[in-house]
Amino acid sequence: MSLPIAEAVQVFLDHCRIAKCLSAHTLRAYESDLGQFTAFAGSSGTVRDVERDLLRDYARFLFDQEKLKETSVRRKLATLKVMFRWLESEEAIEITPFHRLQMPIRLPKRLPKALAPAEIRDLLLATKRRCLDSDDLAACAFYLALLILFATGLRVGELTSVRLKDIETEDGVILVRGKGNRERRVYLTNKDVLAVLKAYLRARRSVAGADPNGRLLIDGEGIPITAQRLRRQLHRLALLCGFKKRVTPHMLRHTAATQLIEAGVDIRFVQKLLGHASIATTQIYTQVSDASLRATLARANTLGRVMR
């Protein structure tokens, strides 16, 4: 008897949570993507009913009815592909319907959105003032979070998952658990950032009820600060600074990578810092650097000066 799709989804999510130790954020994304496919395929459908034509129909549905962008459609299909590959390995199906399926989805080539140095200064100065003018631990935690994100290029979910035991304050080392539960170390080499970290940790110890072994970032009530809360704070801060564009924590990651590449840091070191499994992912930032070079040359306009 073939496994119902809804049941297969639940078993797969349990596998991802227990065996693969995926983050809560990734699990929510998987659950949402697979739930949408289950609704499309029908509650009475089984995994053996899923064939190539159904997958093609689903892709058309996502484009034509849901009006999703290429990146979203590709992600949803990739989630399905991972689940069916696992079902094949578990012998719940003989072969995945994605086997030799030709359904390429070309993504528009977009460079990562990074902030300009002046924008970085505006954000940090505004946050620093709020931290210094307030006894609110949450304001200082937010300032520290921005400094670490700019300095290390951490994903916001990685940062909010950091616990006190993961930090070596004297050496400025943070142990990070990234995608696929892979561990890596990032380094805080700036003395000012280390000073802010130590001052924040002293203030954190004075919070009644704060878990001494808990998350690094907490508010004045001892409640851990979530990734979503940081996103909202950053959005509000950007509005207060008069930014026209929406600023996200991932833009800080792109900014950190871009700054390092433009400073001449070897791309292999940037790859390790960001936790990219493939250097091909990191190479996109060399294109950002080329774009910056072009803009710099245009502003210099050396030939134009000579021809005047």
Residues annotated catalytic, as ranges: 155, 179, 250, 253, 276, 285
Q: Are 282 and 270 in contact (CB under 8 A)?
A: yes
Query: Which CB contacts under 8 angstroms, 24+ apart, belong to 266-272?
Result: 270/153, 272/184
Q: Are 250 and 230 in contact (CB under 8 A)?
A: no
Alpha-carbon distance of 71 to 85, in angstroms, equals 21
DSSP 181: G
* Full DSSP string of 27-69: HHHHHHHHHHHHHHH-TT-BGGG--HHHHHHHHHHHHHTS---
Letter for the amino acid at 92? A
Token pair of 148 as six digits: 């670490």
Residue count of the chain = 308
Q: Are 146 and 252 in contact (CB under 8 A)?
A: yes
